[in-house]
Amino acid sequence: MRLPDNFKSGFNRKSTAEDVTEGVDLSGKTVLITGAAGGLGQESMRVLALRGAHIIGLDRSKESVEAAGAGLSKGQLTAYGCDLADPDSIVACTDAIAKKFKVIDVVLTNAGIMAPPETIVSGKYSEPLEIQFAVNFLGHYVLINRLMPLIKAAPSARLAIVASEGYVTAPKKVGIALDDLDSQKRGYDALETYGHSKLAVMLMNLELARRFDGTSITANSIHPGVIRTNLASDSTDFKVKLISMFAGPWTRTIGQGAATHCFVAVHPSLDGVNGMHFADSNPKQPKGHALDQELAGRLWDKARELAADYVKPDNLFGT
């Protein structure tokens, strides 16, 4: 189901995560959040726990999630360490989750990295990968695949896929460079490879939504906006630093940045809504390669090939 063209949520870029979840009761719901130890993930965890959810919080260390959730006033937190650059870590984490939980109602794929110094993930998947592609896209692909039995067990599950309108900086001609996923042929450009990874995330949402059509699971993507977090704190790229320097008038607070996260994850107006993109807690039409269903299918097939040792083909997600 898609929302009508004239849909207005009643929220805007100044709305906070608390605003968009006011009156929402998440008692009895289990919400998994990646990147829960700081920034938008931590704020989403705080607010969704405030509404009564049991949070499964993932970050590179269990201890960092526990520290981030130490002040939760309501709800419950179960923390796990999960390095999304390492599929063995994802396997260990998802196996541990499956031993403790039977159902996951919401998956919020918040974790991500932006424009780091050039780093190649090698010896993990079937070919070397640029780290932003490995973390932002493929790590979440594997995570969702392995959690699919718990997602399918929910009466009506939601995948809230955190993308970015930075996808427009992906390679203009091909969108996804399926023959150059380590960026060695075209050369490393921090901002372009960030856009490349986020376009992959947008296409993952497109393909998930197609596969979930007619089921009780929905997938929608999210643009959080420009927020001053530590997302690109280790970037040495001149363009990224320049953007950060002059982004002041367009930046949001952490609470405002997490609003669309929480809106897409739990707001009742999106019950049954599938395959849409949201910014400022309202629908926004993607453009260019982000609408290419054929490219989404080819990326999906490539992801299955890359992660063949880690995904479970018998899950709905992996068929």
Q: Which residues are catalytic?
A: 188
Residue 21 contacts residue 9 (beta carbons within 8 Å): no
Using CB atoms within 10 A of its CB, is residue 211 exposed (0-12), middle (13-18) or buried (19+)? middle
